[in-house]
Each structure stands twice: as C-alpha cells, then as structure tokens.
Amino acid sequence: MTSLPASPHVIDASQRWAAHREPPARRTLLTAAASLAAAWLAGCSSAGLRTEAAPASRPGSTPGTPKAAYQRLMEGNRRWVANELQHPDRDPTRRELLATGQQPYAAVLSCIDSRVPPELVFDTGLGDLFVMRSGGTALGPVVTGSVEYGPMTSGTPLIVVLGHQRCGAVAAAYKALRDDEPLPGNLQAITHALRPAYEQAVRERSADPIETMARAQVKLTANALRGNRDLAPLVAKGDLAVVSAYYSLDTGQVEILNGAPA
C-alpha cells in the first residue's frame, strides 16, 4: 500500500510538540542566560546613572586658583549658615575616584574645638581639604610642616587659618599668662605659642581681651605662614593665598580677617 505524504499541519504540530518536549535542563540554562544578560545591562545602566548623579566626583572639577578655591569654600559656608547643605563628594563613586590619588583645593588649619569641624563648616567632602588642627591654631614644626604639605607637594592654592569664638585654648593660655601659672604637661607649649597674641591683646586693652587675643592669634598665624621661607615664594607668584578667618559659634558664619584673594 502506497504511503500518503504527511499533511503540513501534522508536521507543524509535530515540531511544536518536539519544542514543547525540549529537555528541562536546556530550558533552565537558556532562562539563566537571559536573566544574566538582563542583570548586566541593568548594572551598566545604573552605573551610568550614578555617574551622572555625582558630577562633583568627576576629574577636573577641583578649583585650581586661590580665588576659585576661596569662592568654593565660602559658598560652602553660606550653605552651612543657611541650612542648605549639599554634602558634596560624599559617595562611593568619589571614594573610588580618590583611591589612588588626591588633589585637595584648600588646606585648613583650625583649632581642635569639637564645634568647629572644617569639613562641615565649609560643606565639603572626601578629597576636598587638607585639615590640620591644633589648640588655638598654635604653630610648631610638625604643624607647620603639615600645612606646607599641600601647597608644596600637591599645588594646593589656598590655606585658611580658622580661629573661632569662645576658644577654650586661648582662654586657658590667657589666664595662665596673666596669672603666671603654667599649665600642666605639654599644654604649656600652647601657652608659649600664644604668648605674642596675648601680648597684643594686653596692649590693645579691649573690653574682651580673650576674644581680642583669639583674633590676634589667627592673624599672627596666617602672617607667619604667609612669610614662611617655603610658602612665601608661592604667595609672591600668586599661586597661593593664606587667609585668616574667624568662625562664629552662634551663627556658623566664617568672617574673613585678612588675606582674601582678589
């Protein structure tokens, strides 16, 4: 008996049935591959979104001149005072960018007071500032060397000496010098470093000699750094500015005393 050719509809049905009977292991493998590809694409997309969300983390955004660095800092302080903080440069992308190098745009020498953290006062983040802290912004070889580090090794264009209102270190040094009663331990080294500011405050005979001494200390420290043998040539060329500033505990505002770049 002659066999009749199979109907095309029968062949299609047979193929569909074979596809439906595809081994489970193969179907699982294909599903996993599709999921992996989708996850990879989503990861690439989200990475791109993170980069766009953190423009401050991109190379080339660091201020390169004293004036630009000064303006960046003061803009941050205005945000701090107005409670309009941006918290820049504080994300994993920024951390990864800085893992192999840094180029801070300012060095800040402030007092050790817990109420005056420069990174918050100027609304900055990772890699933005070199920060040194000493009682009453007192100078010494190690502190001076630390301040010199940024301008001399990284081209940091700005130094800010930041004193503050109601400084405990200045008050203690003032009383110790006035009463001729040395402070215990190495605290006396702070008293010795602040003596020129004390003498200036005594000469001025102001109503608030401790506040006068605190402001005088900031200016004297900035003047000493500005005339430093290694920093003075950078200042003379216009590559570096040394600013003295005073922080109000009451308002959060930074007042510039002298040295602001034109």
DSSP 179-243: HT-PPSTTHHHHHHHTHHHHHHHHHHT-SSHHHHHHHHHHHHHHHHHHT-TTTHHHHHHTS-EEE
Residue 210: the pLDDT is 98
Determine the length of the chain.
262
**DSSP one-letter code for 248:** -
Q: Sign of torsion, CA 72 74 80 81?
A: negative
Q: Which two tokens stand for residue 51?
A: 């980069």
Low pLDDT (below 70) residues in the chain: 1-60
The residues with which 163 forms a beta bridge, in sequence order, are 246
Query: Count of CB atoms within 10 A of residue 94's CB?
Result: 19
Q: What residues are paired with 161 via a beta bridge?
A: 109, 244
On whether the CB atoms of residues 258 and 243 are closer than 8 A, the answer is yes
pLDDT at site 61: 78
Q: From CA 67, how far away is CA 98, in angstroms rounded?
A: 24
CA neighbours closer than 13 Å in the CB half-sphere of residue 165: 10
* 108 bridge partner residues: 131, 160
* Nearest partner of 159 among 225, 96, 212, judged by Cα: 225
User: DSSP H helical segments within 58-194, as ranges?
Assistant: 66-82, 92-97, 118-121, 141-149, 168-179, 187-193
User: How much is the pLDDT for 8?
Assistant: 43
